[in-house]
Amino acid sequence: MSHPPVMPVLQAPPPAQPDAFSIFDPVRFAAALLAGVANADIERAARLTARMDALRVGGAFWREDDAGWAALIPAAAAPRAEAIAAALLLATSYREPFGGEAITPEAFVEQLGVWREAIEENRGIVCCVGMAFWKRARMADFFRAGETVPVFRRGARGAVRAAKSRNGAIAVWSTRIPAGLERLAAAEGVRVVRVEDGFVRSRGLGSGMLPPASIIMDAAGIYYDPTAPSDLERILADTVFDAPLLARARRLIDVLVARDVTKYAAGDAPVTLPPPDGRRRILVPGQVADDLSVRLGGGGVRDNLDLLQRVRAANPEAFVVYRPHPDVDAGHRLGAIPDAVAARQANLVQRGGSMARLIGAMDEVHTLTSLAGFEALLRGKRVVTYGTPFYAGWGLTEDLTISDALVLRRSTKLTIEGLVAGALLLYSRYVDPVTLLRCGPEVLIDRLSDRSVWRPGMLMRGRQVQGWLRGWLVRLVQRP
């Protein structure tokens, strides 16, 4: 018999080591061949290799010049089918990449298939532009195609040249599009896709320089701009969600609610509220004044104070709670209302504690375009929109301002499971902040419960101090 293979047949792609989750034992391989491989194992291996071929995984599958998994099993004195079964089933142990528990080779093959699909999606993205320096490494993880990552450029001309020379597309942060990029790219036939934070992002703020663990990509538009179609809108309008996907969405909703997960947080930090007094409780979440979702989808509402005034005018007997936006409260973004001014419209200006717990204590959420409206829908709350967020117009919200064109584009009536399937499962991408490998939202939600994963570095600590000082100065100036 010739020498046994030295690497597992099923290997993990970069940035993991190939044998990070599959450990091959050459002694067990030799012993299995010496003892003889059972017919049941040979048949199981045949089914497994058929699935490997269908998913195009095995060996260094992320390399376009890879010789294939079969090349890892040399010709042996034993029959070929026995050698394959011994290598895949009897001599290799497999670990779940994100939890570490033992799994079957079949389960590992399915995970490799997910990674293969992500790698194929990423091959077309060859250049990133408009990405802040502190998130570039994470963007490289999102767009990694095996051992290849996109190049980063700062300006429109450099990005178009880089993409043209590499025969691929440009990924650009949606709020930092360099002047002239779309015009130059169109002239050169280069595709541009927009990138933005995902809807379940991290345990901490992006404005605090914490890289995202979730993003969205959109080639048609962007989800927060209701004036034009987006990939998310197309997914929600046109997809026939099958039963397994809807069941997965239902499980995801249950976990998000049970663990008090929102875009920037997870956990059960208590919220201090006065006891109920019989009045309807309405939450009005503050937003960033210059946020593009407000500028593009604000429906004529000028700012947070204007929104509060409208909510109060329409609900004079309600108990209104105003929650300032965390980026604004941290001093990083515009949109602050002096508490004394907000208190003329709101019964309570609430800070601290879990946003999820706060939503849970409310009867309704009235919002411009805030993601808090989406998070309230997950929790079965009545949601009234004064602008046009991505979740409006599908029959789940009460919409006060929505255009006729949008009514036509969003004529499909969705269940909450369908909305979640489209937004969180089909539209969003996730990277595990521990292994830096692509994952599903379920993995990220598990990571959110581990505070050690989200410890701030020196850059983030400096940003926190900067935000505190800016906020202190703003409050000082606003004092009567």
pLDDT digit string, tens, across residues 93-152: 999 999 999 999 999 999 999 999 999 999 999 999 999 999 999 999 999 999 999 999
Average pLDDT over residues 382-389: 96
For 220, other C-beta atoms within 10 Å of its C-beta total 14
Beta bridge partners of residue 194, listed in sequence order: 172, 218
DSSP line for 406-446: HHHHT-S---HHHHHIIIIIISEEEE-TTT--EE-HHHHHH
Dist CA 462 CA 447 (whole Å): 24
Residue owning tokens 């034993």: 78
The Cα-based distances of 42 to 26, 36, 48, 112 in angstroms read: 18, 11, 10, 21
Pairing between strand 151-153 and 125-129? Answer: parallel
H-run or E-run covering 153: strand 151-153
Dist CA 428 CA 145 (whole Å): 18
- Whether residue 281 contacts residue 362, with contact meaning beta carbons closer than 8 Å, is answered with yes
CA of residue 391 relative to chain centroid, distance: 16
Dist CA 286 CA 334 (whole Å): 11
- Is there a cis peptide before residue 26, judged by omega within 30 degrees of 0? no
∠ CA 409-410-413 to the nearest 5 degrees?
145
Average pLDDT over residues 261-286: 90
Q: What tokens does 17 get?
A: 């080591």
At residue 277, the pLDDT reads 94
* Phi (first) and psi of residue 365, to 5 degrees: -125, 125
- Whether residue 327 contacts residue 333, with contact meaning beta carbons closer than 8 Å, is answered with yes
Q: How confident is the model at residue 290 (pLDDT cuts 50, 70, 90)?
A: confident
DSSP state of 317: T
Find, among 208, 204, 207, 229, the residue nearest to 219 by Cα.
229
Dist CA 270 CA 272 (whole Å): 7
CA of residue 270 relative to chain centroid, distance: 26
Average pLDDT over residues 449-461: 73
Residue owning tokens 């990083």: 332
Range name among 212-216, 267-271, 332-336, 389-393 with the lowest pLDDT average:
332-336
Q: What is the dihedral of CA 18, 23, 28, 30, to 10 degrees?
A: 0
Domains detected in the chain: 22-107 (no CATH), 251-411 (3.40.50)
Q: What tokens does 421 get?
A: 């399937």
Q: Which residues in 431-445 are b (16+ Cβ under 10 Å) and which e?
A: bbbbbbbbbbbebbb
Q: CB-based contacts of 179: which residues, under 8 Å, 6+ apart?
A: 156
For 306, other C-beta atoms within 10 Å of its C-beta total 15
Q: How confident is the model at residue 471 (pLDDT cuts 50, 70, 90)?
A: low
Q: For the segment 11-54, what is each residue's pLDDT rounded down to a tens digit? A: 999 999 999 999 999 999 999 999 999 999 999 999 999 999 99
